[in-house]
Amino acid sequence: MKTKLLALAGALLATTALAGAPAKADVKIGLLGGISGPIAAMAPAMIDAAQLAISQVNEQGGLMGGEKLVAVIGDSACNPQNGTDAATKAVNVDGVAAIVGPHCSGAVLAAANSVTIPAGIALITPSGTSPEITGLNDKDTVFRTVPSDDYQGRALARTLKAQGYTKVAVAYLNNDYGTGLANAFKSEFEAQGGEIAGFAAHEGEKASYRSNLAELAKGGADTLVIFDYGDGSGLTMLRESLENGFFEKFVGGDGMRSDAPIKELGAENLATFVASSPVGEKSDSLDLFNEAFKAAGGDPDAIFVTTSYDAAFLLALALEKAGGDKSKVAAALREVAAGEGGEPIRPGEWKKAKELIAAGKAIDYKGAAGDHNFDAAGDVPGAYSLFKVGANGFELLTEMQ
């Protein structure tokens, strides 16, 4: 009997010890995208690219002691209120350690100011391009893997002048994205000797923009530059311009490089439509990403997929470097992105990175979209190209300088 009691006591102690041993907890990161709203056609590929990075991490050992990296997906809907709501849930309810997104600038600014900066949570947007993000008083917690629109607007202006555009009208959405891009474009286009024959803001999601377009057409330009979203009011403006013959040629920023205008209006009607967007710099890293994303069923040519992948992979590297400590992720981001003399880490090389970090060695992530050497404001340089509409969608027209 005594032996049985001792055995039972031992079993109970063992059970208690097992119950008291902490289980490996998942580490969550938020993926806050414009799943609904004016960039709904772009968002799925961006989310998928970030998910690819997460799957590679988990397939190659996970974080720290084998913890899984888990995505918490939220819909920022490309507007400030939804961005704030999605970030609040991700941080305060789901307990994420960091955030990829939101996708749109207004949502980024609102979510950062209201939620992530006060909470000390690192945020990387793969597509929030407003120059206003640069000036955030963010305590070095807000980053982006895409260049500011100050760069895109000026590069687009120079490229159009080089392509022979001399007189244009500009219609821009009255939000942080549209305003920042339009002002940068206007300043550079005029500096290059171009003429802005009309320059006007408009509100989003109106039923018609015929009166706006008619007013812009009075300036006599044959080209309309639209800084808006191709899934939303930008599509309406493009359709009504074509229907009413207000303009002959059309130019869009990255928000207009959506499949929606092609599907809605037909490629044959968009022969004079071009749009700019960021592109991954040609590199071994880009090749590795393209191959992996294609194998996972993704489209490597979709807009913002390289920057979305890099944002998620960078956060994983920073979490590993910080030992999972949320408060140290932002500082760790700078270390993993630009380690002085660090060992290069390319897309998918999680196991290698994990071993180097464990050994206390410096790493330097070489991303699909570029090296991401963050400046003091968390911004990065980058590359842009101009695309035309072809039979199979957008096709490269020229690189932008």
231-249 pLDDT, tens digit each: 999 999 999 999 999 999 9
Are 347 and 328 members of one domain?
Answer: yes
Asked whether residue 381 carries a pLDDT value surpassing 70, the answer given is yes
Contact criterion met (CB below 8 Å) for 175 and 127: no
When pLDDT is cut at 50, 70 and 90, the band that residue 1 belongs to is: very low
Are 234 and 319 members of one domain?
Answer: no
Identify whether 370 is part of a domain.
no
Q: For position 290, what pLDDT does the model report?
A: 97
Asked whether residue 5 carries a pLDDT value surpassing 70, the answer given is no
Are 69 and 33 members of one domain?
Answer: yes
Q: For position 339, what pLDDT does the model report?
A: 62
Are 259 and 396 members of one domain?
Answer: yes
Are 38 and 184 members of one domain?
Answer: no
- Provide mean pLDDT across the span 84-104: 98
Q: For position 279, what pLDDT does the model report?
A: 86
Range(s) of the domain holding residue 183: 150-278+383-400
pLDDT digits (tens, 9 = 90+) for 191-234: 999 999 999 999 998 999 999 999 999 999 999 999 999 999 99
Are 228 and 202 members of one domain?
Answer: yes
- Provide mean pLDDT across the span 70-87: 97
Identify whether 11 is part of a domain.
no
Asked whether residue 15 carries a pLDDT value surpassing 50, the answer given is no
Asked whether residue 7 carries a pLDDT value surpassing 80, the answer given is no
Burial degree of 237 (CB within 10 A; 0-12, 13-18, 19+): buried
When pLDDT is cut at 50, 70 and 90, the band that residue 24 belongs to is: low
Are 104 and 164 members of one domain?
Answer: no
Are 130 and 213 members of one domain?
Answer: no
Identify whether 288 is part of a domain.
yes
- Average of per-residue pLDDT values in the chain: 93
Are 72 and 114 members of one domain?
Answer: yes
Q: For position 12, what pLDDT does the model report?
A: 36
Are 253 and 392 members of one domain?
Answer: yes
Q: For position 338, what pLDDT does the model report?
A: 79
Q: How many domains does the chain have?
A: 2
Identify whether 110 is part of a domain.
yes
Q: What is the CATH number of the domain that holds 201?
A: 3.40.50.2300
The pTM is what? Answer: 0.89
Lowest-confidence pick of 1-15, 19-33, 47-61: 1-15
* Comparison of pLDDT for 207 and 4, the residue scoring more: 207
Reported as type and span, the H/E element at residue 287 is helix 284-295
Are 263 and 155 members of one domain?
Answer: yes
Are 34 and 179 members of one domain?
Answer: no
Structure tokens belonging to residue 342: 């660090």
Buried b (16+ CB within 10 A) or exposed e, 94-126: eebbbbbbbbbbbbbbbbbbbbbbebebbbbbb
Structure tokens belonging to residue 16: 């208690």
Euclidean distance between CA atoms 204 and 178, whole angstroms: 11
